[in-house]
Chain A
Amino acid sequence: MNYKLVFRLLGRLLLMEAALMVPSLAVALIFREGDVMAFVYTILLTAACGAAPSLLLHPDREDLTAKDGMAVAGLSWVILSFFGALPFVFSGAIPHMADAYFEAGSGFSTTGSTILPEIESLPRGVLFWRSFTHWIGGMGVLIFTLAVLPRLSGRTSHLARAESPGPTFTKLMPKMGDTAKVLYALYIALTAIEALCLLLAGMNLYDALIHAFGTAGTGGFSNYNTSIAAFHSPLIEWIIAVFMMLFGVNFAMYHHLLHKDKDSILHNEELWVYLAIVAGATLLITVSILPQAGGFFPALRAAFFQVNAITSTTGFSTADFNVWPLFAKSILMILLCLGACAGSTAGGFKLSRVILLVKSSFRDLRHTLQPRKVAVVRMEGKPVNESTLSQVGVYLFLWLVLAVAGTILLSFETDDLVTAGTAALTCLSNVGPGLNGVGPAENFSFFSAPAKLLLSFLMLAGRLEIYPILLLFSPNVWKKN
């Protein structure tokens, strides 16, 4: 690892984080609820820690190798979560560091799991920051840095690839920086549209922004204890449900839409599979909860909202689905693992990987019947590389290993397999709530500090698609070159 270069880049990212805390400071200044100094201290500390390596270190080589790129991606999220946790600690909102780290990690990784049993009494600046971390984490802080800074280093594709979800990374523009700008422009525009819709639906500006951030990053932090149910407004529920669905779509689709590139959208298999899954699951759950929901439309609304909240890995809730029939819960848990489209802000395993796995399974089954047949797997009509297919298989394995290991380790904390299993899964998929002890009406505060750190690790691993975080444990990455 090129330590000087990696630390210099990390320093720049910390400076960026300090700058991104300024809006929260402004909110704190407006409401004056005792959290202003927490932000001032954090910003100063973060900026100082960021400026030191940028000023002191002068790397001999400027090109970022694949190894350095992975290290930057993995380390940056660990470090950003640490500094992101400081406002919680300094303001006294979340006094314990492990709790605060969990909350910040949950924010940046857009998970939305919380250790807070009581949210509404916290200072509003802190709550704003808590939701703002979703928004930063959704599209990624490295991508943001690529969009804002002219040239970090010669080779930035490693960074973008490490941070953007999905089996392959497609550039929208020839230059990495321009691609990052396009992505953030779309992201900001969609967020603004949602905030506007929520304002028109009767929310105040502060609530509208908080929930727009939570939806855009597919995070799921709300500033109300009962999440979206607190508004008692079907209109708001529909708006948020639709936007959760929109943020689960690959952002390249919006780029194609703006460029009137109909074919690219119509031929995108993942998009159609995504919409079909949402429609199918909504229908099944509507039927399943019909007896207890009090009418078809309330059932449809609750089902559509919850399906999108889980599929897009946002994790808002309008109802306690823990009391729904097992059939409905099972469907939600499958959706929780699948996740939404690659290239969106959603977490999970990603549908494009699922599609590739299904297709290659069929191909291999057919291959046993016709051993001499040469067949390629196609996606969007184009042949898929064999190496991409095997990478997807390996990814599935690693994902399962983390899920199972997480469940086993959490079993020291609880006697309920469903609680332990869904807690691990919901963190790895960046959704937020699970079932039983970690259901939508519950929270994660009962876990011990080591368990909270384990869950934070799962959340970051899920957000960065495992490799960058897992590779931090490899001595090879830390070797000086």
Chain B
Amino acid sequence: MRIMIIGGGKMGTSLAQSLVDEGHDVTIIDRSEAVLQKSMDSIDAMFIKGSGVSTETLTEAGVQQADVLIAATAGDEINMLACLTAKRLGAQYTIARIRDPEYLSSLPFLQKELAIDYVVNPERATAREISRMLRFPFAGSIETFARGRVEMVDFRAAEGDPVVGVPLKEMYKKNRQLPQVLFCAVERAGEIIIPKGDFVIQPGDRVHVVSDVATITRFFEALGKGMATIRSVIIMGGSRIAYYLASMLLSMKVKVSIIEINPEKARRLSEMLPGADIIEGDGTDQDLLESEGLADAHAFIPLSDRDEENLMSGFYAVQRGVKKVIVKSSRDNYSAIMHQMGLDSIISTRVVACNTILRTVRSRASRSFAAVERMYRLMNGQAEALEFIAQVGDDYIHVPLRDLQVIRDALIAVIVRDGQVMVPFGNDTIEAGDYVVVISRRAGLSNLREVFR
């Protein structure tokens, strides 16, 4: 597909790289020559210098033939205007990044009037992601499939866990009480492995398991990592994510404290969030954290704009024994080191937003209806978890799985039929209308048919 990206910032380039890797023709428009020069060598895309709202630039970039236009500049208003202009000039589908909370209530109106097909609010999406992670404190991340029936959860295997040291195929023979989940991916030393039957989990591995919600819950209870509800949260930094997250948590009756260093920001937050404690002060100050009850907090979430501060405070909170620490960091290349140092839950606004957009683009890219319903990337995109709906008339329908050849480095994780979740075995079949979750090390699958040889 022909995709135009307006704004070559962090999000623009990271999106462009993923889209080029998936084989799309990408054109990036940015006003700064320096920004374009930086990406020109590494990304195989077309680069055009100019303003994304100028009809001249857009026409030069070929907006008439664009299948998707993504406006990801720093300014919400520019993004909206770029989408409107592009749509009028002939772009098929427009995506705008809009982040200001003040536009939140008027979004449906704006979307309709300005012909924006899809709005991405990275901060809000990130906040939603964090609030989901807080509901399952033992997990590094939780992704849902099949309209929430299936979950993929990852956790760190520890010494003494019943899953450690046993080949996967013998695990359920040895331990009959263990609820049956599918071990779909394991991260070890920065590599992602799709485990086979003779794979042995070692302490320190990050294990991704998939099953229906109830089984997952029982599985973790059996592991002794049962649920513990989070009732109080300290957030460091009064960013937009903090605002969205606090409002979500407050509606769930969780006690929220936000530490913000800037007095004006702190005041605005306290105006906007009547139920939260807003503390004016430096969130990296350990005395302040202690006096605000860090040791008793159920969760600590550093969300400041500086990754380093977030990481340091995060490590400190882990040391102090806070049950759940979620750190915001935009550098995904450090995630392996962070995992080693005990920070399991790292979230990046850019990654969340890119995943949302990639999912949208990919479902448009696939002409048939067997498009990707959901897509998550594991370990910087080393692997992907994808959800498809099986289509009438496809070749794989009603064929026992053992007779189907699955491509290398891919795994059918679960099949959901009429609300029933099953971990598939050789005799099972895929029927039309089933939700199918696939884990794959090959990026860019856009259709269930591509999973089979």
Task: Give chain B residues whose Cβ lies under 8 Å from the Cβ of A157.
Answer: 40-41, 44
Are A155 and B46 in touch, CB under 8 angstroms?
no
Task: Give chain A residues whose Cβ lies under 8 Å from the Cβ of B2.
Answer: 174
Provide the main secondary structure of the chain B interface. mixed
Are B44 and A173 in touch, CB under 8 angstroms?
no
Identify which of A154, A156, A174, A178 gathers the most chain B CB atoms within 10 Å of its CB.
Answer: A174
Chain A nearest CB from B33 CB (Å) reads 7
CA distance A177 to B44 in the complex (A): 9
CA distance A154 to B26 in the complex (A): 15
Task: Give chain A residues whose Cβ lies under 8 Å from the Cβ of B45.
Answer: 174-175
Task: Give chain A residues whose Cβ lies under 8 Å from the Cβ of B26.
Answer: 174
Task: Give chain B residues whose Cβ lies under 8 Å from the Cβ of A158.
Answer: 41
CA distance A190 to B25 in the complex (A): 27
Chain B nearest CB from A409 CB (Å) reads 36
Given contacts A173-B46, A385-B33, contact A155 B27 (CB under 8 A): no
Chain A nearest CB from B390 CB (Å) reads 30
- Contact residues of B between 45 and 79, Cβ < 8 Å to A: 45-46
Task: Give chain A residues whose Cβ lies under 8 Å from the Cβ of B44.
Answer: 154-157, 174-177
Task: Give chain A residues whose Cβ lies under 8 Å from the Cβ of B25.
Answer: 173-175, 178
Question: Is A171 interfacial (CB-CB < 8 Å)?
Answer: yes
Task: Give chain B residues whose Cβ lies under 8 Å from the Cβ of A385.
Answer: 33
Are B42 and A174 in touch, CB under 8 angstroms?
no
Question: Is A66 interfacial (CB-CB < 8 Å)?
Answer: yes
Chain A nearest CB from B222 CB (Å) reads 42
Task: Give chain A residues whose Cβ lies under 8 Å from the Cβ of B27.
Answer: 174
Q: What residue of chain B has the Cβ atom nearest to residue A69's Cβ?
A: B41
Chain B nearest CB from A259 CB (Å) reads 10
- Contact residues of A between 163 and 182, Cβ < 8 Å to B: 171, 173-178
Q: What residue of chain B has the Cβ atom nearest to residue A264's Cβ?
A: B60
Provide the main secondary structure of the chain A interface. loop
Q: What residue of chain A has the Cβ atom nearest to residue B47's Cβ?
A: A171
Task: Give chain B residues whose Cβ lies under 8 Å from the Cβ of A175.
Answer: 20, 25, 44-45
Q: What residue of chain B has the Cβ atom nearest to residue A171's Cβ?
A: B46
Interface flags for A40-67 (1: CB within 8 Å of B; 0: not) read 0000000000000000000000010010
CA distance A157 to B41 in the complex (A): 6
Task: Give chain B residues whose Cβ lies under 8 Å from the Cβ of A174.
Answer: 2, 25-27, 44-46
Q: What residue of chain A has the Cβ atom nearest to residue B17's Cβ?
A: A154
Are A155 and B33 in touch, CB under 8 angstroms?
no
CA distance A62 to B20 in the complex (A): 16
CA distance A156 to B25 in the complex (A): 15
Identify which of B2, B27, B44, B46 gathers the most chain A CB atoms within 10 Å of its CB.
Answer: B44
Task: Give chain B residues whose Cβ lies under 8 Å from the Cβ of A177.
Answer: 44
Chain A nearest CB from B425 CB (Å) reads 37
Chain B nearest CB from A147 CB (Å) reads 14
Task: Give chain B residues whose Cβ lies under 8 Å from the Cβ of A155.
Answer: 41-42, 44
CA distance A174 to B40 in the complex (A): 11
Interface flags for A178-193 (1: CB within 8 Å of B; 0: not) read 1000000000000000
- Contact residues of B between 87 and 132, Cβ < 8 Å to A: none
Task: Give chain A residues whose Cβ lies under 8 Å from the Cβ of B42.
Answer: 63, 154-155
Q: What residue of chain A has the Cβ atom nearest to residue B20's Cβ?
A: A175
Interface flags for A388-424 (1: CB within 8 Å of B; 0: not) read 0000000000000000000000000000000000000
Are A66 and B46 in touch, CB under 8 angstroms?
no
Chain B nearest CB from A181 CB (Å) reads 13
Task: Give chain A residues whose Cβ lies under 8 Å from the Cβ of B46.
Answer: 171, 173-174
Task: Give chain B residues whose Cβ lies under 8 Å from the Cβ of A176.
Answer: 44
Q: What residue of chain A has the Cβ atom nearest to residue B60's Cβ?
A: A264
CA distance A178 to B27 in the complex (A): 14
CA distance A155 to B43 in the complex (A): 7
Chain B nearest CB from A263 CB (Å) reads 10
CA distance A217 to B310 in the complex (A): 59
Chain B nearest CB from A204 CB (Å) reads 43
CA distance A276 to B40 in the complex (A): 34
CA distance A156 to B2 in the complex (A): 20
The 9 closest A-B pairs by CB, nearest first: A174-B25, A174-B46, A176-B44, A174-B45, A174-B26, A171-B46, A174-B27, A175-B44, A155-B42
Q: Which residues of B contact A (CB under 8 A)?
A: 2, 20, 25-27, 33, 40-42, 44-46
Instruction: Supply 22 A–B pairs (Cβ within 8 Å), ascending by A.
Output: A63-B42, A154-B42, A155-B41, A155-B44, A157-B40, A157-B41, A157-B44, A158-B41, A173-B25, A173-B46, A174-B2, A174-B25, A174-B26, A174-B45, A174-B46, A175-B20, A175-B25, A175-B44, A175-B45, A176-B44, A178-B25, A385-B33
